[in-house]
Chain A
Amino acid sequence: MADYIPLASSPSSPPPVRHLKLLSFALATALLTLVVFLNVHNHSNHSQNPILHPSSPLSRGPSHGVSEKTSGISSLLHSTPFFPWTNHMLQWQRTAFHFQPEKNWMNDPNGPVFYKGWYHLFYQYNPDSAVWGNITWGHAVSRDLIRWRHLPLAMVRDQWYDSDGVWTGSATILPDGTLIMLYTGSTNASVQVQNLAIPTDPTDPLLLEWTKSDANPVLIPPPGVGPKDFRDPTTAWYDDEAEAWRFVIGTKEDKGHSGIALVYQTKDFLNYELLPGRLHGVARTGMWECVDFYPVATTAGVGGLDTSIVGEKVKHVLKASMDDDRHDYYAIGMYESEKVRWVPDDPEEDVGLGLRYDWGKFYASKTFFDQQRARRVLWGWVGETDSEFADAQKGWASLQGIPRTVLLDLKTGSNLLQWPVKEVESLRASSQEFTNINISSGSVVPLDVRSATQLDIEAEFVIDAASLAETLEADVGYNCSTSGGATHRGALGPFGLLVLADPKLSEQTAVYFYIAKKPDGGLQTHFCHDEMKSSHANDIYKRVVGNKVPVLDGETLSVRILVDHSIVESFAQGGRTCITSRVYPTEAIYNSARVFVFNNATGARVAAKSIKVWQMNAAEFDESAF
């Protein structure tokens, strides 16, 4: 309604009225200016800066799930035409004992579960090509998590609610043994929804056929959640008080650019209630994909725990895959079931800020409780770090990491321990042991290992006390990613092993320790992989990666390394710090691959107390036992 200023009764209007007009004019202008300013300012600062982890600069904009090509201190700057890959080199890259389909593209592990005597693994799969797309659920079964039998596709894109992609999901086994699967579908309008699927024939131990519920989609994005920010439902846990099942879906909110975990509750997996608030959220971490949430025992001798176990005697791990930086982060904390909240033990090591399962190439991981062996097992997607061109040539892309058991480290209390499942040892063939090798400063010592492309290595190093005491200078700020890798010489490091190295050492992948002295005189050990010399080729991503590793008083430095063609996985201090590397040597392949130990420290007298090397057989499924 327009202002109605009364007509002045006479030409000489009383001053107060004119002042009022001027005042309102001035106020309006001022407010307008303020609002315009705010509007412009708000746009430019609209998104909070996400946390960028220095070891992995963002490569913006690759498609969801496409083998992420993050570059580090990298050879990419100097490249280059494509390396003249030969079939001989490319074929060598296929692994002998890691899970991979016969061809084409794979990404996230899905619905891992033990059911009626079989371990099942489903996975994101493109049945048509070696790049991400047309995503369906691949399927395989195993008796031992190591030897796999590939089966037909479990689920394809045949409904409107998953025609754009049958995406990641998790299995829940109900107390009566019923198995249900919740998974994300990308609809024909590319909206992310959650769907229920159950085995068509629950008596079939191979779970060949799946029936999608008529009620699908059972969940659509709730108000406030974006249609493309709602995916990857977890395994459900049972809440006694609510007498209902709960599970988590990760998402994000603009406020603080936070990753958050929402909790849904259901009694029948058909009708759902979004519980108020959120299980947890962390600012500046961005979208949380592939959330996982599970209990770990705080006492020894217990092994893994069923997902439904809660209470004060356990801790809960909350994990998320950070879409922004393509790494998997976890944190240990306490879950309060009445409030439906989880709180980290150490807020500075909160989800997305602190520990990763793996400091190399490892994403979209998921655990399951193996009720046969009472252990919690972790699967993780290990993508390629080579070119799309090479993937198209070789006709496949991606591996699953070796399955690992997960336990709380009872000695430190502040990290998990991951270790290859024991069944890996059944592949060990001939073994060799090398003991008490003194590695003088600046030297590289070959190990007489005949064929070195399929190996299980357990090594123990000692560095003599005098070396440690003699070193006076503090070595602050060491960081695997920003260091010069194995060639950067410090007083007390680097030292370790060179795998997939050719006899001339023109190619090598270094797995090493680096001890840094702290200003207070204490020691901080770092554990790294240096991929920079892993291959002559420059059309691949090569980085130095790793992290600190806790070493307690009295412990020697120990590392286990699995070498399997184009994947090297290592586990330091019993699995406190783990690193996965994909490497693509051009010369250190087939019979030309060797193993060396090295000591590139300037002041440390290092000895390899013991190095055990096993040749590993290929994991072959025994059809006769089928």
Chain B
Amino acid sequence: MKHSSSSTTISTILLSLLLLFLTIHLTHVGAIPNIQGYQATCKSAAVANPVINYDFCVLTFQSDPKSVDADTRGLARIAALISFNHYNDVTFNIQDLLGKSPDPATKFCLEQCMSLYKSMLDRLAEAMDAINLKHDETAKGLLKTATEAAKKCEAGFGKAGEASPLTQVNHDSVELSSMALTILGFAN
């Protein structure tokens, strides 16, 4: 007659679990890096704000070595910094496009965009300072303004019935400033 071996089974399960836990424990001790902090933050940001794309967010932070050790506030600041540089780059893009003698309607929209983007440089610099100073309401207001400015620039072409040559960069502007805003919301 077969003897019930439930305690055997339990022993087996426990020992297997033990082996599993030991494996996990040892791999951590072996300094295999955990998931990068900013990857987790990007995940949360993408969930909190559908404008933010997880892969884009991760790639953005990857380019800055300080992202690895940054806390949430630090990541918000890095996102604001990258936004600043991006908005600045866009002003050069617009300058190039203006130099190609566009038609009057496009030219008008480009000039509107230039004025918007240039004024946002100061706002984004202020936002970085506000993040440092933990004046989060101020910072969020400034970042929202920067996001709106990029949308306004893009919308201008639609209103004028012109194709926008800035769609991709405007989209990135919205995404970067949104990243800074959303991630700041996670910070303490």
The reply to whether A539 and B89 form a contact with Cβ atoms under 8 Å apart is: no
Closest to B29 in A: A42
Complex: chain A residue closest to B73, CB-CB: A61
- A66 and B81 contact, CB distance less than 8 A: yes
B75 to A389, Cβ gap below 8 A? no
Q: Could you tell me the distance in whole angstroms from the C-beta of B130 to the nearest C-beta in chain A? A: 9
Give every chain B residue within 8 A of A270 (Cβ-Cβ): none
Say yes or no: B85 contacts A133, CB within 8 Å. Answer: yes
**Contact between chains at B73 and A31 (CB < 8 Å):** no
> Nearest residue in A to B76 (C-beta to C-beta)?
A61
* Cross-chain contact A29 with B14 (CB below 8 angstroms): yes
CB proximity to A under 8 Å, residues B61-120: 62-66, 68-71, 73-75, 77-78, 81-82, 84-85, 88-89, 92
A256 to chain B, nearest CB (A): 12
Report the nearest B residue to A189, measured CB to CB: B62
Instruction: Give A277 to B62 CA distance when docked, in angstroms.
Output: 29
Q: How far is the CA of A430 from the CA of B96 in the complex (A)?
A: 50
A108 to chain B, nearest CB (A): 13
What is the bound-complex CA distance between A79 and B132, given in angstroms?
A: 11
Report if A60-B21 is in contact (Cβ < 8 Å); known contacts: A5-B8, A66-B81, A131-B85. Answer: no
Interface pair B62/A190, CB less than 8 Å apart: yes
Q: Give every chain A residue within 8 A of B28 (Cβ-Cβ).
A: 39, 42-43
Let me know if B66 and A21 touch, CB within 8 A. no
> In the complex, what residues of B have CB within 8 A of residue A602's CB?
none
Residues of B contacting A189 in the complex (Cβ-Cβ under 8 angstroms): 62
Closest Cβ of chain A to B151, distance in Å, is 22
Residue A388 contacts which of B8, B15, B128 (CB distance < 8 angstroms)? B128
- Chain A 41-78: CB-based contact to B (< 8 A → 1; otherwise 0): 01100000000000000011111101001000000100
A194 / chain B contacts, CB cutoff of 8 Å: none
Give every chain B residue within 8 A of A36 (Cβ-Cβ): 21
Q: Give complex CA distance A3, B31 in Å.
A: 33
Interchain CA distance A133-B89 in the complex, whole Å: 11
Alpha-carbon gap, A228 to B61, bound state (A)? 12
Verify if B163 is at the interface (C-beta below 8 Å from A): no
B84 and A61: CB pair below 8 A?
A: no
Pairwise interchain contact B81-A131, C-beta atoms closer than 8 A: yes
Q: Is B2 an interface residue (CB 8 A)?
A: yes
How many residues in B have their beta carbons less than 8 Å from beta carbons of A? 49
Return the chain B residue nearest A391 by Cβ.
B125
A474 contacts chain B at the CB level, 8 A cutoff: no
Contact present for B81 and A60 (CB under 8 Å): no
Tell me if A129 and B126 are in contact (CB < 8 A).
no
Residue B168 CB within 8 A of the other chain: no
Tell whether, in the assembled complex, residue A392 and residue B65 are in contact, meaning their CB atoms are under 8 Å apart.
no
Interface string of B160-182 (1 = CB under 8 A from A): 00000000000000000000000
A131-B125, A388-B128 known; A25+B11 contact, CB < 8 A:
yes
A61/B14 contact (C-beta < 8 A), A21-B8, A82-B129, A389-B129 known: no
CB of B35 within 8 Å of the partner chain: no
Indicate if the CB atoms of B71 and A28 lie closer than 8 Å: no
- In the assembled complex, how far is the CB of residue B137 from the closest CB belonging to chain A, in whole angstroms? 13
Is A60 touching B70 in the complex (CB atoms < 8 A)?
Answer: yes
B22 to chain A, nearest CB (A): 6
- Once bound together, how far apart are the Cα atoms of A207 and B11, in whole Å? 74
From A8, A59, A76, A387, B125 is in contact (CB under 8 Å) with A387
**A7 in the interface, Cβ–Cβ < 8 Å?**
yes
- Select one of A29, A164, A387, A389 contacting B63, CB under 8 A: A164
Which chain B positions have C-beta within 8 A of A2?
8, 12
Please tell me if A35 contacts chain B, counting CB pairs below 8 Å.
Answer: yes
In the complex with contacts A42-B28, A63-B64, A387-B125, A128-B18 CB distance below 8 A: no
Interface residues of B (CB under 8 A from A): 2-3, 5, 7-8, 10-12, 14-15, 17-18, 21-22, 24-25, 28-29, 31, 33, 62-66, 68-71, 73-75, 77-78, 81-82, 84-85, 88-89, 92, 121-122, 125-126, 128-129, 132-133
| A/B interface sample: 14 pairs, CB < 8 A | A3-B12, A25-B10, A29-B14, A42-B29, A61-B69, A61-B73, A62-B66, A63-B66, A82-B126, A129-B88, A131-B81, A133-B81, A226-B68, A393-B125
Instruction: Other than A60-B69, A61-B78, A132-B81, give 19 A-B pairs with Cβ distance below 8 A.
Output: A3-B11, A21-B8, A24-B15, A25-B14, A36-B21, A38-B25, A60-B71, A61-B74, A63-B66, A126-B85, A133-B85, A134-B85, A189-B62, A190-B62, A190-B63, A192-B65, A388-B125, A389-B122, A392-B125
